[in-house]
Amino acid sequence: MTAVENGPLLLAHLTDGPGYAAHQARFGPLPKADLGAIVAAADAVAVRGRGGAGFPFAVKLQTASRAGRRTVLVVNAAEGEPASWKDSSLAQVVPHKVLDGPVVVAAALRVREVHIVTPVERPEVGASLRAAVDERRSAGERLRWTFHEAQPRFVAGQARAVLELMAGRENLPVTAWQPEAVAGHRGRPTLLSNAETWAHVGALVRLGPDAYAAYGRDGHNPGTTLLTLGGDGDAVVREVAAGTPWTEVLTADQLSRPVLTGGYHGTWAPSGALATLTVSRSEMAAQGLALGAGVVITSAPTACPVERTLRIVDYLAGESARRCGPCRNGLPALAGSLRSVVDGIGQLGRVRQLLDIVERRGACAHPDGTARLVRSLLTAVPEEVDAHLGGWCGYRAPTRPLSLAGAV
């Protein structure tokens, strides 16, 4: 497991340990709340999904509850992206904060079963959540918990891929004509959110909207957010108040170089761009930047963002479901075209052409996310892209073909 820092809300009181007895002693019994109260509270503080898309939780909950059939609840702890560690960390250090959310929502919806999806490549995550469920059962909780293990693929944690896994089919995304909250698992309305989102729901019910909002830095950014901060070395999971200036999160040296925000499907922020912004999804989006799942990748002084992007795109091309043209053919072609640019023998026009081909034409969002990453590179570091097209690199010289072996 990566390093986890003590935080203000979800990552507070880490020294208490992950046990249920300590959790109850610290926070007391989980309050009961009816559906309307949960929807109103989540809407008041704008709780959004923390898996990357940022969809309003209140809308998902209300949609699922009105679909006319009993709702399926899913805790998705299968992050998929190798650079992301926040759900894995929550599941290990504060598993009962993760479980509080689905427990209180299940009671409000009169649902008796909750599904939990964990990554097979991180067995400690599933072991921790299973142990937490056993503790709650021993304490008298009567929910049924069903566990599933997602495969070690980037797209395995995508919502439709999770539903395929739960249905006993291959853990890969498929085309969907309705949102999961309307027609999800076996056609039933499905409320599927990641571990951090569920932990925020539990905290919100315990605190109430006013106290929860007060954890943010201003009225426009209530609550907190988790970040996985990493680079070419070890990563750390840190919880910060929403609206915290990036100057309090990253060092001046890190901010002086391009930073990849939002992870492998995220965006490159130009050198110095984050120095005037805060950890705010809306504020960053206004500048064309993605907070996504909270993955923030910084670079060493000698690390070229163009070459780093190529390694990521090459990895993403190999991680697709290969069920549609943009994934099967477009992403490998995009990786090859970008490799030619890196090696000083390609054309930028071909890269842009492939971006237009794969965007908005895939069966899932994987091609779109990959294209977003490459487009942001062209905008964030155009001088470095031009340097590679000219046969050299501003981070090393002379330019030479890359070896793509090893981690991205």
Phi and psi (nearest 5°) for 110? 60, 45
CATH class of 305-389: mainly alpha
CATH architecture of 3-213: 3-Layer(aba) Sandwich (3.40)
**What percentage of the chain reaches a pLDDT higher than 90?**
82
By C-alpha distance, which of 242, 239, 204 is closest to 221?
A: 242
Please tell me the distance from the alpha carbon of residue 48 to that of residue 392, in angstroms, as a whole number. Answer: 43
Rounded to 5 degrees, what angle do the CA atoms 240, 278, 158 make?
70
Give kind and range of the element (H or E) at residue 308: helix 305-318
> With 80 as the cut, is the pLDDT of residue 159 above it?
yes
End-to-end CA distance of the chain: 18
pLDDT at 404: 41
Q: pLDDT band at residue 406, thresholds of 50, 70 and 90?
A: very low
Q: What is the arithmetic mean of pLDDT over 151-166? A: 95
At residue 29, the 3 state secondary structure works out as coil
What integer pLDDT is reported at residue 274 of this predicted model? 98
Alpha carbon separation from 30 to 115, 247, 371 (Å, rounded): 20, 36, 43
Q: Which residues pair with 191 in a beta bridge?
A: 73
Q: Per residue in 199-243, pLDDT tens?
A: 999 999 999 999 999 999 977 889 999 999 986 568 999 999 999
Query: Domain spans of the chain?
Result: 3-213, 224-297, 305-389
Q: Report H helices in 2-143.
A: 20-27, 35-44, 57-65, 86-93, 95-109, 123-138
Which carries the bigger pLDDT value, residue 301 or residue 25?
25
pLDDT of 402 over the 60 cut: no
Task: Give per-residue pLDDT as tens, 67-122.
Answer: 668 999 999 999 989 999 999 999 999 999 999 999 999 999 999 999 999 999 99
Task: Determine what percent of the chain falls in helix, strand and coil, rounding each to the nearest 5.
Answer: 45, 15, 40
pLDDT at residue 197 tops 90: yes
Q: pLDDT tens, 36-56?
A: 999 999 999 999 878 767 789
Residue 379's pLDDT band, with cuts at 50, 70 and 90, is very high
Chain mean pLDDT for the chain: 92
User: H or E element: which one contains 241?
Assistant: strand 236-241
Instruction: Kindly state the average pLDDT of the residues 63-69.
Output: 83
Name the strands in the sheet holding 224-230, side by side, starting at the edge strand that comes first in the sequence.
3-4, 236-241, 224-230, 295-297, 259-261, 267-269
pLDDT per residue over 314-342, tens digit each? Answer: 999 999 888 888 899 999 999 999 999 99
Q: pLDDT tens-digit profile of 256-267?
A: 999 999 999 999
**For residue 300, pLDDT beyond 80:** yes
Structure tokens at 307: 């070459």
CATH of domain 224-297: 3.10.20.600
pLDDT given for residue 395 in this prediction: 85
Rounded to an integer, what distance in angstroms lies between the CA atom of residue 227 and that of residue 249?
10
Question: What is the per-residue pLDDT for 399?
Answer: 46
Q: Give the pLDDT confidence score for residue 315 in this predicted structure.
A: 96
Number of H helices, E strands in the chain: 17, 10
The tens digit of pLDDT for each residue in 140-149 reads 999 999 999 9
Q: What is the pLDDT of residue 221?
A: 87
